[in-house]
Amino acid sequence: MPDFEVVPTDPMDSGDAPTRVRAAIVDHPGAAPRIGVIDAARRRKETTLVRVLGAALNPLDISIAAGLVPVVRHEEPYVPGIECTGVVVQSDQFLPGDPVYGECHPSPTSAGCFASHVVLSDTDLLSLPAGVDPVQAVAVGNSGVAAFLPLVELGGLRKGDGVLILGATGAVGKLAVQISREHGAGRIVAVGRDATALEQTRALGAHATVELQTGEGVESLADRLRAAAPSIDLVLDGLFGTPLEAALRVCGPRARVVNIGNSVGPEISLSAGLLRGRQVSLTGFAGFYTPLTQKRLALEWLWGALMADRLHLDVVRRPLDDLPAAWADQQGSPHTKTVIVPDAQILAGFSRRR
């Protein structure tokens, strides 16, 4: 188990493979992270030591730390962070200096990505394409996959489809609007609570928006959805609850519905007659349970779209010391994506070399 210790200064070992690294530490379920120094993990066979360039802050990081994900609940201190980009320091699989994208599985015995360095399994790493911005690349990683795979693979997005995005104002929703646009959706309707963020989705490709209203009933919301989208073929649902119940009432025959979250509520009331009568397919997706090998094509598409300037996401870069404040901001559901940059000088040097 790593030796967790609070250190007020920044004592970093010199050399390529440090014995101590700065990192964020969550002490117990529900605790906010603090910044300290830990013993660096030792690289073993089939693992790679990576110097972190950028680590994305995701809602899943908050849920794990709060103890809301039973399969990864951590009662003891651990370093959070589920994804990063970085440069290879030591590896048997990759060359030193190679830029990579990595997925972390943080636990009390395996540090996550909110650190200056991290050791990852070789199977949890992908090479980054030449020319992609590592901060943007990680910003669209988990969030982009959560939009791309449900829409394109599970949902079978086709040219001309009417697409309804429930929860369109966050990073996943905004990327979903753009992915739908790039795949030729005929009409895209964005649904969410924040009027300003909803208006931003129009610039990204949404043809119409529907603002959720507190306390509104299913039938009233269904009427407003129907007015915005007379024909719905595909629903990406990040809300569940009343919005999904309303959306199911306006789905067309053989519509596909993919659920990726339940921020409004964990349960719905579903009529068997509605499901069978319209032959609606309803399924779910969780990137947490999907191996990186199954995400590769999605990530490559996302990075290619970034480099072709066909994909845009508002990204806020913050130093590791700002993570506690960024963590609090994330709990308020910001409409931007935060990427933690452990060392701005290292990132700048990498960018110049590119």
Report whether pLDDT(342) > 90.
yes
* Residue 69 lies inside a defined structural domain of this protein: yes
Contact at 8 Å (CB) between 221 and 248? no
pLDDT tens per residue across span 284-298? 999 988 999 999 999
Q: What is the pLDDT of residue 10?
A: 37
* Residue 294 lies inside a defined structural domain of this protein: no
* Residue 80 lies inside a defined structural domain of this protein: yes
Among 288, 305, 333, which residue terminates a domain? 288
Rounded average pLDDT over 144-153: 98
Q: What is the pLDDT of residue 351?
A: 83
Per the prediction, the chain carries an average pLDDT of 92
Q: Does 108 share its domain with 149? A: no
Q: Does 171 share its domain with 91? A: no
Q: How far apart are the first and last CA of the chain?
A: 37
Q: What is the pLDDT of residue 88?
A: 97
Contact at 8 Å (CB) between 184 and 163? no
Q: Does 117 share its domain with 195? A: no
Report whether pLDDT(345) > 60.
yes
pTM: 0.92
Range of the domain at 268: 143-288
DSSP characters over 52-110: EEEEE--HHHHHHHTT--GGG--SS-B---SEEEEEEEEESSS-TT-EEEEE---BTTB
Q: Give the count of domains, the chain.
A: 2
Q: Does 154 share its domain with 282? A: yes
Q: Does 33 share its domain with 167? A: no
CATH code where residue 175 lies: 3.90.180.10
Report whether pLDDT(239) > 70.
yes
What does R_g of the chain's alpha carbons equal in angstroms?
21
- For the purposes of burial, counting CB atoms within 10 Å of the CB of 15, is it exposed (0-12), middle (13-18) or buried (19 or more)? exposed
Rounded average pLDDT over 306-327: 97
Q: Does 134 share its domain with 43? A: yes
Using pLDDT thresholds of 50, 70 and 90, give the confidence band for residue 3: very low
Report whether pLDDT(331) > 90.
no
Report whether pLDDT(219) > 50.
yes
Q: What is the pLDDT of residue 296?
A: 97
* Residue 295 lies inside a defined structural domain of this protein: no
pLDDT tens per residue across span 35-90? 999 999 999 999 999 999 999 999 999 999 999 888 888 999 999 999 999 999 99
Q: Does 161 share its domain with 284? A: yes
Q: Does 71 share its domain with 179? A: no
Q: Does 228 share its domain with 135? A: no
Report whether pLDDT(160) > 90.
yes
pLDDT tens per residue across span 18-48? 889 999 999 999 999 999 999 999 999 999 9
Contact at 8 Å (CB) between 24 and 35? yes
Rounded average pLDDT over 249-276: 93
pLDDT tens per residue across span 168-205? 999 999 999 999 999 999 999 999 999 999 999 999 99
* Residue 297 lies inside a defined structural domain of this protein: no
Q: What is the pLDDT of residue 322?
A: 97
Top-confidence residue, 352 or 194: 194
Q: What is the pLDDT of residue 72?
A: 87
Q: Does 19 share its domain with 134? A: yes
Q: What is the pLDDT of residue 56?
A: 98
Q: Does 122 share its domain with 147? A: no
Among 288, 321, 339, which residue terminates a domain? 288
* Residue 64 lies inside a defined structural domain of this protein: yes
Report whether pLDDT(107) > 70.
yes
